[in-house]
Amino acid sequence: MKSRLNQLTLSEFIELLCGNHLVLCAPGEVLPKEHLNQCAIKLIGEYRAIVNPVATKAMLVEYEDVTKQRIDILLLRICQTLMSLNVYDDVREILQMIDCGGLTMTEEQVKSKVEELLRTALFEQKRNDEMRQEEVHPNKLTPDQIRASFDAEIAFMMTFFKMPINHATNAAIYANIVHQADVDIKHKLRSQ
């Protein structure tokens, strides 16, 4: 199985982006679909990290924020359970851990605070999930559109660097070529 970006040709990588995960298999090799999907996600992420490391870092920060948000919701639900068991001291400690005070609150204030925080957190999560869905799937590209986009990009790279690039080029090398073009273009724009 091809599990590293430098094992794929540019042509195979484009097919992978188009949804053909079988390009990861060696001839005659049969692998579970879920394993292929996970490997595809990893390779696409690796490509994006090479082409645009800043955007990849921003995406990781966003994932971190999503994870923190989910942890807060989980902790607030635990607080609800603890309140139903009348264990308010533990709830106060959890509120303190998530920087919401609570040590001097009465049981009624704690209950009100937890309900308010949970309601707000669930609303924020729903809103953020909807916004992310719009960003992730604004207009999903068809395989033909993906191929056409790469054809245009390859043509630009060949013109920019004045060198031939074919579909047998290693996908990792191509990603570095695209990144270098991006760096060069930004440098030229800054120096004007």
pTM of the predicted structure, to 2 decimals: 0.66
Place of tokens 């799937």: 137
Q: Is 87 helix (H, G, I), strand (E, B) or coil?
A: coil
Over the chain, what is the mean pLDDT?
Answer: 91
Q: With beta carbons less than 8 A apart as the criterion, state whether 20 and 14 touch.
A: no
Of 43 and 102, more confident: 43
Candidates 128, 72, 116; CA nearest to 98 is 72
pLDDT band, residue 139 (cuts 50/70/90) = low
Residue 104 buriedness (CB in 10 A; 0-12 / 13-18 / 19+) = exposed
In the DSSP assignment, the letter for residue 142 is P
For residue 1, the model assigns a pLDDT of: 94
Specify the pLDDT at position 15.
Answer: 96
Examine the pLDDT at 191 and tell me if it is beyond 90. no
The domain segmentation of the chain, as residue ranges, is 5-51+141-190, 60-136
Residue 74, both tokens: 């989980």
pLDDT at 135: 60
pLDDT digits (tens, 9 = 90+) for 87-122: 999 999 999 998 888 788 999 999 999 999 999 999
Give mean pLDDT, residues 68-77: 94
Three-state DSSP state, 80: helix
Q: What is the Rg, in whole angstroms, of the alpha carbon atoms belonging to the chain?
A: 24
What pLDDT score does 145 carry? 94
